[in-house]
Amino acid sequence: MTVHDDSHPESDDQDQGLFSLDTSVSSRAYVAEIWKRRDFALSLPIEELQSSHKDTLFGNIWHLGNPLLTAGVYYLVFGKFLEVSRGVDNFVVWLIIGVFTYQLTSGTILGGASSITSRQGLMRSFRFPRAIVPISNMIGELLAFAFQFLVIVVFAFATGAGPSRRWFLLPVILLIHTAFNLGGSFIAARLNDGFRDIQQLIPFVLRLAMYASGVMFPLDRIVGRNDLVDWLVRLNPIASLINFYRWMILGTELNVATSALTVVESLLILWFGFRFFKVAEYKYGQS
Amino acid sequence: MTELSVRVTDLHIEFEVFSDRRAGLRQRLATKEGSGRRVIEAVNGVSFETRRGEAIGVIGSNGSGKSTLLSALAGLIKPTSGEILVSCEPKLLGVGAVLLNGATGIRNIRLGCLALGMSSDELDDRVAEIVEFTGLGEAIDRPLKTYSAGMRARLHFAIATAVQPEILLVDEALSVGDKEFRKKSRAKIESLLANAGTLFLVSHSTKQIERLCTRGLWLENGKLLADGPIADVIAQYGDDD
- What percentage of chain B has pLDDT greater than the value 90? 12
Q: How far apart are CA A128 and CA A285, in angstroms?
A: 12
Residue A13 is predicted with a pLDDT of 47
Q: How far apart are CA A182 and CA A193, in angstroms?
A: 16
Q: In this predicted model, what pLDDT tens digit does every residue of A83-142 receive, in sequence order?
A: 777 777 888 888 899 999 999 999 999 999 988 888 887 887 788 899 999 999 999 999
Query: For residue A1, what pLDDT band results from cuts at 50, 70 and 90?
Result: very low
Stretch B112-141: mean pLDDT, rounded?
84
- What chain A residue is nearest to B49 in terms of C-alpha separation? A18
Q: What are phi and psi of B16, to 5 degrees?
A: -100, 120
Contact B166 A2 (CB under 8 A): yes
- The H-assigned helical ranges of A53-90 are 62-74
Contact A18 B92 (CB under 8 A): no
User: pTM for the full model?
Assistant: 0.83
**Does residue B221 sit in helix, strand or coil?**
coil
Is the Cβ–Cβ distance between B139 and B105 less than 8 Å?
Answer: yes
Q: Partners of A13 in the beta sheet?
A: A18
Instruction: Answer whether A54 touches B (CB < 8 Å).
Output: yes
Q: In this predicted model, what pLDDT tens digit does every residue of A171-201 receive, in sequence order?
A: 999 999 999 999 999 999 999 888 878 888 9
Q: How far apart are CA B36 and CA B134, in angstroms?
A: 44
Residue A10 is predicted with a pLDDT of 44
Q: How far apart are CA A180 and CA A182, in angstroms?
A: 6
Of the ranges A19-28, A216-225, B19-28, B151-160, the best mean pLDDT one = B151-160
Q: In this predicted model, what pLDDT tens digit does every residue of B4-53 receive, in sequence order?
A: 889 999 999 988 776 655 556 666 666 555 556 678 888 988 999 999 88
Smallest Cβ distance to A20: which of B3, B83, B97? B83
Q: Which amino acid is at A8?
A: H
Residue A16 is predicted with a pLDDT of 65
**Does residue A90 sit in helix, strand or coil?**
coil
Is the Cβ–Cβ distance between A25 and A7 less than 8 Å?
Answer: no
Cβ-Cβ contacts under 8 Å, A121 against chain B: 96-99
The pairing of strands A19-20 and B4-18 is unpaired
Instruction: Answer whether A39 touches B (CB < 8 Å).
Output: yes
Stretch A223-247: mean pLDDT, rounded?
85
Q: How far apart are CA B173 and CA A167, in angstroms?
A: 54
Per-residue DSSP letters for B124-164?
Answer: HHHHHHHHHHHT-GGGGGSBGGG--HHHHHHHHHHHHHHT-
List CB contacts of A285: < 8 A, sequence separation 6 or more: A116, A119, A120, A122, A123, A124, A130, B76
Please report, to the nearest 10 degrees, the dihedral formed by the alpha carbons of residues A244, A245, A247, A249 taken in order. Answer: 160
Instruction: Answer whether A60 touches B (CB < 8 Å).
Output: no
Q: Partners of B40 in the beta sheet?
A: B15
Q: How far apart are CA A95 and CA A24, in angstroms?
A: 45
Q: At what angle do helices A62-74 and A132-158 cross, to 10 degrees?
A: 50
Smallest Cβ distance to B119: which of A18, A39, A122? A39
Mutant choice from A48, A122, A126, A128 vs B, greatest count of B C-beta within 10 A: A126
Query: Where are the strands (E) in chain B, listed by range?
Result: 4-18, 37-51, 55-59, 81-86, 91-94, 167-171, 198-202, 215-220, 223-229
Q: How far apart are CA A139 and CA A155, in angstroms?
A: 25
